[in-house]
Amino acid sequence: MKKNIFILGIESSCDDTSVAITCNKKVLSNIVSSQKIHQKYGGVVPELASRCHQKNIVPIASLALKIAKIEKQQLNAIAFTRGPGLLGSLLVGTSFAKSLSLSLKLPLIEINHMRAHVIANFIENNECSAPSFPFLCLTVSGGHTQIILVKSVEDMSLIGQTLDDSAGEAFDKSAKMLGLGYPGGPIIEKKSIGGNPNKFIFTQPKVKDLNFSFSGLKTQIFNFLKLEKEKNPNFIDKNMNHICASIQKTIINILITKLQLAIEKNQIKNIAIAGGVASNKYFREEIKKMEKKLNINSTFPKIEYSTDNAAMIALAGYYKYQKKNFTMLSVSPDCRYKI
């Protein structure tokens, strides 16, 4: 019979402190504490993020073990996010992982956060079954927008990415301009309900190959709102749902158009989406429409495994554990860790 492998995963790359316990590919617990302190600033304040991680990490790890009903002594390895991310935030998770590994005499496993987003599609607790290889994964988060060609859990190559802002940032910055708070994506999604997505038209950027650009859209939205507010100071309040629906549609359209191009170029029939923006329902609906139109197979992780979480880190750790791909205690975070 296959031995059960218990991994404790730690995620602290940005503003979510998370610890999870997995047993093989199944999640036993996944505790995520999203730092509320950044809301009033309309974006993550790195100095505050690392302080919050420091405060939260020990109680969150204790809770993750308690909910999983696992004793520390039962664990097989400690997996942690080495990067990419904010240095101060990564340092907290890395140091905590090292101290756990040292005190419990367990192997330490470093994980690339962006690879882990892709691997979230293989969590057994998902509603969708895991994608078949090879597949294309569109990972859309607060810091990244990437198309990755995935031939196996180890063999991932970047075939397209944003040249400036990420799609998540486009949501976040638009929400800030609309006075809606942070993180902007879920708020814009909520405010879009009942809005007409075709009421305001924003032009789509023309970017070569499989790359993206969102900075022009941000400027376009800024200028549009400025002009309309000059004509009518109540413009935003009067049109909030239409503005949000139109912005959401534009961002998702940009993503879908490029993914379709990637499918055609690579002749690959399996696709997956990952990252915080992948929790957007309109995005998921559009992917489903594309699935029918192009006769392809699509998968996406459950929402709790799309946004930042430690379950994906623990599962990525499980794959590395099987290959005995362990990390030295001298490891340090890598803010620009490449996929």
Binding-site member from 88, 195, 308, 333 for Zn ion (CB under 5 A): 308
174 binds, among Zn ion, ligand KG4, none (CB under 5 to 8 A by kind): none
Residues in contact with 60: Cβ distance below 8 Å, sequence separation at least 6, in sequence order: 17, 18, 19, 31, 33
The Cα 161–Cα 139 span in angstroms is 9
Q: Does 12 help bind Zn ion (rule: CB under 5 A)?
A: no
Residue 83 or 160: the one with the smaller Cβ distance to Zn ion is 83
Residue 75 or 277: the one with the smaller Cβ distance to Zn ion is 277
Cβ at position 189, least distance to ligand KG4 in Å: 4
The Cα 244–Cα 122 span in angstroms is 32
Cβ at position 116, least distance to ligand KG4 in Å: 10
Residue 169 or 308: the one with the smaller Cβ distance to Zn ion is 308
Cβ at position 261, least distance to Zn ion in Å: 24
**Interface with Zn ion by CB under 5 A: which range of 74-82, 135-143, 203-211, 252-260?**
135-143
| Residue whose pair of structure tokens reads 């196996």 in the numeric block | 152
Residue 44 or 296: the one with the smaller Cβ distance to Zn ion is 44
Chain-centroid distance of CA 14 in Å reads 11
Count of C-beta atoms within a 10 Å radius of residue 267: 6
Count of C-beta atoms within a 10 Å radius of residue 32: 18
The Cα 330–Cα 321 span in angstroms is 19
Q: Report the run of H or E that residue 23 belongs to, with start and end.
A: strand 16-23
Contact residues: ligand KG4, CB under 6 A: 14, 141-143, 168, 171-172, 183-186, 189, 275-277, 279-280, 307-308
Residue ranges of the alpha helices (H) in 193-310? 215-231, 235-266, 281-294, 303-306
168 binds, among Zn ion, ligand KG4, none (CB under 5 to 8 A by kind): ligand KG4
Residue 165 or 224: the one with the smaller Cβ distance to ligand KG4 is 165
Cβ at position 292, least distance to ligand KG4 in Å: 22
